[in-house]
Amino acid sequence: MPSLEKQGEGKTYITLQYLSRLALWVYFRNIKIICRTPVPAEGPLLIAANHSNMVLDPIVLIATFPHSRPCHFWALARFFRIPLVGKILKSAGVLPVDTKTHSNAKLFEHTLLTLDRGAVVALFPEGTSYTAPKHLPFKDGISWASFEYLTQLAQKEDGPKSVSIIPVGITYSTKNRWRSEVVVEYGNPIIQTVQDLQEFHSDPKKIVKNLTDRIAEGVERSTINSPDWDTSHAASEARFILFGDSRGVRLEEYVHVSQSFIALFHPNNTNDKEALYYKERIELKERLLMFSKKLKSLRLNAGDISMYENQEITMTRATLKLVSTWTYLVAQIPLFLPGIIINSPFYILGRLIDSYEPYTESVSQDKLIFSFFLAMPVYGTLIWLLWKLTGYGLISLLCVLMLLPLFAWYHMALIDKNYDMLKQVIASWRIFIAITTGTTGVNADWTHSREALEDCVRLRRWCRDQTKLLIYNLAKEGDVEAQYLVDYGKPLFASLDEQEQQQQ
């Protein structure tokens, strides 16, 4: 029996788990893990997850998998032939896959051995990472692997006679932004037994495709999918206007709420003249997209102008908002400044990656990887300076090493509130400049008048009222997704209930 270390479930993997959890703690503000049914603590499992965020996706699975079970991922066999890389991959439990072979038994050799040990094999059936409004078509590899494993089980007299495939949805509120949120949903298992082999042998390709479709549907239920970008953007703005940003929606409901808004503006409902409130949907969708475009040109978001929703934009209000946010931020600086100075290389690095990384799905990966290597000289220098200041003693070195995690925790405890306040200061400054000078222009391409800002406020107010009215009316007509939104945001629709009661 090979050792745990050779199986990729020993010290190397445990270290990888700790590093993954540290990475998620640093990068994300909130992480929500949902298990629709209990995930078994032992026994073979196949995991199928969406893959929209490069190396972040396996990190999320490693850090959040129930019972801390090790996950074994696929990698091309040629990488294992590179001496150092191959050793690292093996010790981390990564499985080689030879895509050049025409034999499924050879292709899935290491996968079947791993499942036979009762381990977890986690795959990304889309085959690549991407930025798109919906998931990519799923490849059939995981389905073929499951039937190859069932064939192996059928040849044994003892042992298990089934394998569970668990669809996993990984949803990022803003996948390329630091201190955003992530929802990880482990869905209901798809259980395949040796009895399914009879149907499989009658028409392998068809049965494999059917299983792949079931897996894709399972992942789709746990993720946000839109038919196109316009529908996605309109739905996001509508959700933001009604409920605020991602923190205004309970993370356990984030996927369902977002998908319900997408259903409102789905082309099936905006292109079909027989659909309920067809014209209202089209007009609202067009105005939401116009609102989104105007906000982007002003470098603001719907939350930045929410305070003017029920009041006029005036110089006094803009000035008071700027002064109050700036004063609060300045008051926090003495507590926050040491952490800002020490960690400034990481913030500069993040800005550079945002500016120069062309692929959205690679931004977070780049930030994590480069930050990992940057942390060594930054914190190594900090430790050396503190050790030097305390006289190079052994006790002082131990104290410095013990205080470093406390300092990191202290900085992270303050970062979110101050980061939010900094964004408010920037937004308040842009609004103030627009009102005082008639522009927001730092750049000639971004020059906009005060009228554009006021137009955005009017658009936001109109979109808010019409979104509420459309959802309310659709719910009365029996629309399931609209009814869900009414139940979820009940206080928002109380005024419409009162108006209806008065009319009756």
The pLDDT tens digits for 475-484 are 999 999 999 9
Q: CA-CA distance, 169 to 500, in Å (whole number)?
A: 40
Residue 33 exposed, middle or buried by CB count within 10 Å (0-12, 13-18, 19+): middle
What does the pLDDT read at residue 101? Answer: 74
> Contacts from 477-481 at CB under 8 Å and sequence distance 24+?
477/276, 479/276, 481/259, 481/260, 481/263, 481/264
For the residues 179-198, what does the mean pLDDT come to? Answer: 96
Q: Has residue 441 got a pLDDT over 70?
A: no
Using 50, 70 and 90 to split pLDDT, how confident is the model at 45? very high
The pLDDT tens digits for 293-336 are 999 988 898 888 888 877 788 888 889 999 999 999 999 888 88
Q: CA-CA distance, 2 to 321, in Å (whole number)?
A: 65
* 128, 250, 306 from 173: Cα distances, Å: 20, 12, 20
Q: Has residue 2 got a pLDDT over 70?
A: no
| Predicted model pTM | 0.93
What does the pLDDT read at residue 438? Answer: 62
Helix (H) or strand (E) holding 76: strand 74-76
Q: Has residue 444 got a pLDDT over 70?
A: no
What does the pLDDT read at residue 278? Answer: 92
| Token pair 């300076």 in the structure block, residue | 385
User: Considering the chain, what is the average pLDDT of its residues?
Assistant: 91
For the residues 125-132, what does the mean pLDDT come to? Answer: 95
Sign of the Cα torsion 411, 416, 417, 418 reads positive
The pLDDT tens digits for 349-385 are 999 999 999 999 999 999 999 999 999 999 999 999 9
CB 266 within 8 A of CB 474: no
What does the pLDDT read at residue 447? Answer: 42
**Domains of the chain with bracketed CATH:** 4-221 (3.40.1130.10), 229-299+453-503 (no CATH), 315-439 (no CATH)
| Token pair 């990304």 in the structure block, residue | 124
Q: CA-CA distance, 52 to 57, in Å (whole number)?
A: 7
- SS3 call for 163: strand
Q: CA-CA distance, 64 to 70, in Å (whole number)?
A: 10
Helix (H) or strand (E) holding 2: none
Higher pLDDT, 196 or 303: 196
Residue 351 exposed, middle or buried by CB count within 10 Å (0-12, 13-18, 19+): exposed
Q: CA-CA distance, 130 to 81, in Å (whole number)?
A: 27
For the residues 129-145, what does the mean pLDDT come to? Answer: 96
**% of residues, the chain, pLDDT over 90:** 70
Helix (H) or strand (E) holding 405: helix 394-437
Q: Has residue 60 got a pLDDT over 60?
A: yes
Using 50, 70 and 90 to split pLDDT, how confident is the model at 393? confident
For the residues 11-23, what does the mean pLDDT come to? Answer: 94
What does the pLDDT read at residue 449? Answer: 66
Q: Has residue 233 got a pLDDT over 80?
A: yes
What does the pLDDT read at residue 446? Answer: 41
Beta strand pairing status for 162-172 and 95-97? unpaired
For the residues 451-476, what does the mean pLDDT come to? Answer: 93
Q: CA-CA distance, 434 to 84, in Å (whole number)?
A: 57
What does the pLDDT read at residue 87? Answer: 86
Q: Highest mean pLDDT: which of 155-159, 260-264, 267-271, 421-425?
A: 260-264
| Token pair 């949903």 in the structure block, residue | 185
